[in-house]
Structure 1
Amino acid sequence: MPRSVDGPAETGGEHEDGGLSVRVTRRGTARIVTVVGELDRDTADGLRHALVHGSPDGRKGGRKDSAEGGAEDGLERIVVDLGGLWFCDSTGLNLFLQARAEAEAAGLRLELAAPSPMVVRLFAVTGADGVLRVHPDLGSALGEAGGPGPGQA
């Protein structure tokens, strides 16, 4: 059964949905969404909520930390740490592509960090690596304000 745990005031909380754990934190102008586990049709909801609302369980934070409120609170980008993601199917791929479009429409950037070789291959085979902004690790994603263009690390 999914469980939700409220995090400290500076986080959006943590959510575990079957085989996927999603944690949201904030560092400066970046919302960091950390995922661990398997991303598929059965586990995507927590990540979807975290990307859109800044909370993995669908609650909007009191700081207007959502994509809709990004400009008001200094949010410039959403960085998804994929270092603990060991499986991703087409549901996850579509989720990242849709989140990128929604972030851009809200004046934000979506950036992905530390994908496994399997996820890198998924992005390459589908051509998503030419659209998504992918960094080799979380440190490089957070260290670059502007960063490279789509598909470049």
Structure 2
Amino acid sequence: MPLPQLNVYRHDRNSRALITLAGEIDMESVPLLRKTLEGCLRDGIRTFDIDLTRVVFCDCTGLNTFIEAAQQVSAADGSLQLHYPPPMLTRMISLARCSFLLSNPVPAPMPATLPVPCFETLRRLAPVAPVASGGVL
């Protein structure tokens, strides 16, 4: 029998829960995560601390699950915080502008467009290369 790709450990204290996740969070394992978070809400938990120290992978379905759970917990006058997410998840959270999920929020990503003075400096430093039609050089 194969090992589960996500292990979930739940430790309750009054209306607070520490949920420690280990493994991979993806489409296959998200139902287990949802079931755990919904069970906590049903049991009266209102403060969720989710430790991601041992998570090796999390895709967008995992991020969506955390966002949905945060909304449900917030509607129940609670809070959900992610602790020690892997770098890729931290980057996804930053790009999605969901730093409210993090216990230590990261700054928002740099804007896609450069300010005019910076753009002018880059244009002077880097010569423009022609682009071949129908593709990228």
The structure that is helix-richer by fraction is 2
- 1:75-132 alpha-carbon deviations (Å, 9 max, x no partner): 4301111111111111001000000000011121111111121211111122122x32
- 1:59-138 map, 5 Å: 67-70=41-44, 75-129=45-99, 131-132=100-101, 134-135=102-103
Q: Distance in 1 between matches of 2:68 and 2:11?
A: 21
Structure (1 or 2) with the larger CA radius of gyration: 2
Match of residue 44 from structure 1: 30
**Maintained 8 Å contact 1:135/1:152:** no
- 1:24-73 alpha-carbon deviations (Å, 9 max, x no partner): 1113542111100110001111111111103xxxxxxxxxxxx1452xxx
**Maintained 8 Å contact 2:46/2:73:** no
Q: So what's the TM-score if we normalise by structure 2?
A: 0.69
Q: Distance in 1 between matches of 2:55 and 2:32?
A: 14
Q: Distance in 2 between matches of 1:107 and 1:36?
A: 27
Aligned identity (percent) is 31
Question: Which residue type is aligned with residue 67 of structure 2?
Answer: L
Q: So what's the TM-score if we normalise by structure 1?
A: 0.62
Match of residue 119 from structure 2: none
Q: Distance in 2 between matches of 1:117 and 1:80?
A: 16
Query: Which of structure 1's runs of 4+ aligned residues deviate more than 4 A?
Result: none
What SS does the corresponding residue of 1:104 show, helix, strand or coil?
Answer: helix
Greater mean deviation of Cα atoms: 36-45 or 118-127 = 118-127
The structure that is strand-richer by fraction is 1
Q: Distance in 2 between matches of 1:69 and 1:43?
A: 22
